[in-house]
Amino acid sequence: MTPPNATERVVPRHVAVIMDGNGRWAKQRNLPRIEGHREGANAARRTITKAAKAGVSFLTLYAFSVENWKRPAREVSALMSLLVETLKRYEKELAENDISLRAIGRLDDLPANVRKQLDRTIQRTAHHRRMTLILALSYGARIEILEATRALARRAASGQLNPDSIDEATFASALYTHDIPDPDLLIRTSGEMRVSNFLLWQISYAEIHVTSTLWPDFAETDFQRALADYATRERRFGRV
Ligand code: IPE
Ligand code: IPE
Ligand code: MG
């Protein structure tokens, strides 16, 4: 998507969040990691409601990466169960807040019951317009870019696409996020200064806000602080 100009809106249109620190939150309390994830789901709920109220149009939450499959099977299956439970519990609340759900990532990798619940919530909230909530599940930016490349290469090989005509817009149209504007603000909790394979193409010009707050502790005031930080940034997009 073309970058918005520097005088654009004060409220970011698209906020993307790397929700990190659930395990450390649990460890600090001598609790099993899954308790951190459980509290993390509450933080996600708070953030979703707050973002919609603040006027954000797209909120992407990094919930599970392709790399996260390498975690112990017990943690992975607990996370999958938590996801189903959370979707079931908050489907109505999403609808009441006029929020539609989408998902990006290798969704076919998800267990059948997760896929089913996800499809159900997506379908039941599809007509809502106030905000789009995008869950990144089994998501990896490099695999997204590879899948896009393969799709374009197939079209080129079959003669449907002239390789020389491939520009940024063509490429972006082959990504999972083809109809979603690029994130304006990227938030990462728990203090890690890395992007962990998240939306690598799309965050080219995102403003980055890192907070040391662990995700389960992330409160409405933390989100407000991130928005306030964003509002002070001068986005130049390479211009002077
Ligand atoms: C983020 O918290 C949640 C997922 C990656 C699923 P972590 O589980 O990574 O928590 P830390 O980084 O170990 O504290
Ligand atoms: C990033 O967190 C992925 C999600 C928040 C889902 P990780 O905890 O998996 O990332 P690393 O391992 O610290 O880079
Ligand atoms: Mg982590």
Give the residue extent of every domain in the chain.
14-232
User: In the structure, what pLDDT confidence band is assigned to residue 7 with cuts at 50, 70 and 90?
Assistant: very low
Establish whether residue 60 lines the binding site of ligand 1, counting it when its CB lies within 6 angstroms of any ligand atom: no
pLDDT of residue 2 exceeding 70, the answer is: no
User: In the structure, what pLDDT confidence band is assigned to residue 8 with cuts at 50, 70 and 90?
Assistant: low
Superfamily of domain 14-232: Decaprenyl diphosphate synthase-like (3.40.1180.10)
Establish whether residue 64 lines the binding site of ligand 1, counting it when its CB lies within 6 angstroms of any ligand atom: yes
Q: Tell which atom from ligand 2 comes closest to the C-alpha of 192.
A: 13
Catalytic residue among 68, 97, 217, 229: 68
Task: Report pLDDT digits (tens) over 42-88.
Answer: 999 999 999 999 999 999 999 999 999 999 999 999 999 999 999 99
The answer to whether 84 and 116 have CB atoms below 8 angstroms apart is no
pLDDT of residue 6 exceeding 90, the answer is: no
Report residues whose beta carbon is within 6 angstroms of any ligand 2 atom: 18-20, 62-65, 67-68, 192, 194, 196
Which residue owns the Cα nearest ligand 2 atom 14? Answer: 196
Q: Tell which atom from ligand 2 comes closest to the C-alpha of 136.
A: 6
Does the annotation mark 20 as catalytic?
Answer: yes
Task: Report pLDDT digits (tens) over 125-143.
Answer: 999 999 999 999 999 999 9
The rounded distance, in Å, linking the Cα atoms of 67 and 77 is 15
Bin 106: left if φ > 0, else alpha if -120 < ψ < 50, else beta: beta
Does the annotation mark 182 as catalytic?
Answer: no
Q: Please, is 120 exposed, middle or buried when counting C-beta atoms within 10 Å of its C-beta (0-12, 13-18, 19+)? A: middle
Establish whether residue 20 lines the binding site of ligand 1, counting it when its CB lies within 6 angstroms of any ligand atom: yes
Contacts of 193 (CB under 8 A, 6+ apart): 210
Q: Please, is 165 exposed, middle or buried when counting C-beta atoms within 10 Å of its C-beta (0-12, 13-18, 19+)? A: exposed
Token pair, residue 115, equals 């896929």
What is the overall mean pLDDT for the chain?
Answer: 96
Establish whether residue 21 lines the binding site of ligand 1, counting it when its CB lies within 6 angstroms of any ligand atom: yes
pLDDT of residue 9 exceeding 80, the answer is: no
* Distance between Cα 67 and ligand 2 center (Å): 8
